[in-house]
Chain A
Amino acid sequence: MSSVSFEAVRKVFGKTVALPGVDLLVRDGEFMVLLGPSGCGKTTLLRCLAGLERIDGGSVRIGDREVSDLPPRDRNIAMVFQSYAVFPHMKVYDNIAFGLRMRKKPKPEIERRVKEGAALLQLEPYLDRYPAQLSGGQRQRVAVARAIVTDSPVLLMDEPLSNLDALLRLHARAELKRLHTDVKRTTVYVTHDQIEALSMGDRIAVMKDGEIVQVDSPSIIYDRPASVFVGSFIGSPPMNFLKCAARDGHAVGDGWEVPGPPGMDGKPLLLGIRPENIRIGQGPLRGRVIVAEPLGSHTLLTVQVGKDSLKVVAPADDVFKPDQSLQIAPEPHKIRWMDEASGTAIAAPN
């Protein structure tokens, strides 16, 4: 079994604490995405798992092996780098075969597995070429093939799609997901792209300032963010947050009132609601359209409600004009209440 576990993993660079103490369990065969803004420590965490960084505290385990002090080659992992790190002085075949040769596999087996890997990533026509003769997308596939043919039970990926252009990235994303279904390796995938995270991950670990702030399935991360940070980092446009105060089981905002969370009387709250979970027509919130942006599949409205402005997704067929007045209603079961002081979610009663 090859689960991966981090226990109180600490990493310090000089005087900067990159990871104060991270705990995370990645289950066997799971596709775990580490998501966060740049500089949040996600790549550092991955490199600690790979053995490319020494940890300053805690422990890293792969399966039931403690690997904290092992060099990368003894950890039985494979890694895909952001720059692909395809060896420019070797042909595609030799690149893919590199890990197998280092593991001293017999020659016929190397040949068979390189062919299999090349087939899986549609690289057969290029085995005899040098990386300089390949496109970015092909090089990326070489890097992936090189990593998976080694049969390492744990696969690490550090933003493998970030150097591809938008269209290719879309394609490669689907390919990687298909590949994961095929090979079922425990995968730890680092990205700052929330769409990648939502579309590929079995679970997402959202990181901020070296700490993991939420680990959940993509749908839970999206629907029930654990904090204002998660809600506003994920989703495009992000979740709306409206200021309000709890009073007698209600949340009272600037000119509006909706049923609120119990037991929070007097405390300042934030009403979190996704732009697509706001109904237009009847509702307790009155607002004014500031901008209407038709985006083809829908129209994105920026609506001023009291002092807050929020994004609302409206059907593409409806026509809105600037300054038009609206009544809107957040769908009650989609509301995510946050404690304004701490920025964390208030446990929902349901």
Chain B
Amino acid sequence: MSAAATPAPQRKSQRRGVLVDRILLYGVAVLLALWTLVPIYLIAIAAFSEKVAVFEYPKALLPTRFSTETMEFFVGSSGVITSVKNSVIVALGTIVVALALGAPAGYALSRFRFPGRDAFQLAVLSSKMFPIAILAIPLAVTFIDLGLYDKLIGVIIIHSAMVLPFVIIVTAGVFATVSRELEEAAQTLGTSRLGAFMRVALPLALPGLAAAAIFAFVTSWNEVFAATILTLRERTLPALVVASLNQSPLYFKFAGGFFLIIPSLFFIWFMRKYLFNLWGPGR
């Protein structure tokens, strides 16, 4: 449609419509950003102020009295360093187990028509139907029987089970976007079936796998309930913070909260280029 053919008022209203869309879009984006950033900011201020600043009211919106006192206290508390180490081990272990099991399952779902395929897909999802709160006690009993209770491997298994459905569904979707002809081309050029997967499908699926890894990491890092129930001494960081919540002062909680946020932010920071590849204009 040429500009001259459109009556002027209509053009103006169209332009106004675009403007309104823009304002709405950016408005919502800003709101969402504030929604996550403001609490992080407040926690950060509290974590890096003197202990007494936490109890002041009204709150200072700017870090007026910067101090590492609170953080030092938190890091110095008994069990914190160990539980951070535990959390890292569990989160990384969860990524490894969930991807090692989930990626092949997702690949199979996207590539092969096998009997029971739909039922399998449904079963994967339906495992999310049971809240961990209901499963916790029987699981604890089973884990005690199996000798997995209060062991990090036990927490890794539970966390892997929690993220697996998501990992399977996401990787199935990712592999579905990798054309089968690409793998076939690799095979005609001299790779085996597995070689074609490793050299072509896997590199192309990397962004999606990174997203799944982020999800696994963040889920495991933040997971409290199962970790609390299934461990006693080998606490992960959230489990430790929760367990000591009642006995700990407010500034300890802020420091713990801040400490819990940081690794997730770093992990997402490192993975973000893969995410942009997946959703951005890169491909």
Contact = CB atoms under 8 A, between A and B. Distances in A.
Contacts of A79: 184-185, 188
Interface string A97-108: 011001100000
A37 interface: no
Interface string B144-188: 000000000000000000000000000000000001011011111
Contacts of A88: 182, 204, 283
Given A102-B191, A132-B283, A81 B184 contact: yes
A255 B35 CA distance: 88
A81 B181 contact: yes
A318 B254 CA distance: 95
Contacts of B179: 83, 85
Given A83-B179, A85-B182, A103 B190 contact: yes
Contacts, number: 61
A203 interface: no
Interface in A39-98: 50-52, 71-73, 77-79, 81-83, 85, 87-89, 98
A204 B187 CA distance: 27
Contacts of A87: 182, 185-186, 200
A71 B187 contact: yes
A81 B195 CA distance: 19
A52 B189 contact: no
A132 B281 CA distance: 11
Given A52-B187, A88-B283, A73 B182 contact: no
A150 B190 CA distance: 10
Contacts of B185: 79, 81, 85, 87, 143
A99 B188 CA distance: 8
B272 to A, nearest CB: 19
Contacts of B190: 73, 99, 102-103, 150
Contacts of A132: 283
B184 A71 contact: no
Contacts of B203: 89
B193 interface: yes
Contacts of A89: 200, 203-204
- Residue among B179, B181, B189, B191 facing the most chain A CB atoms (10 A cut-off): B189
A81 B183 CA distance: 11
A311 interface: no
B188 A73 contact: yes
- Residue among B186, B188, B191, B203 facing the most chain A CB atoms (10 A cut-off): B188
B191 A73 contact: yes
Given A87-B200, A88-B204, A89-B203, A72 B181 contact: no
Given A88-B204, A88-B283, A89-B203, A150 B189 contact: yes
Contacts of B187: 51-52, 71-73
B192 interface: yes
Given A85-B181, A87-B182, A87-B200, A72 B283 contact: no
Interface of A: 50-52, 71-73, 77-79, 81-83, 85, 87-89, 98-99, 102-103, 132, 143, 146, 150, 156
27 contacts: A50-B184, A50-B188, A51-B188, A71-B187, A71-B192, A71-B193, A72-B184, A72-B188, A73-B188, A73-B189, A73-B191, A77-B188, A79-B188, A81-B185, A85-B181, A85-B182, A87-B182, A87-B200, A89-B204, A102-B189, A102-B190, A102-B191, A102-B195, A132-B283, A146-B189, A150-B190, A156-B188
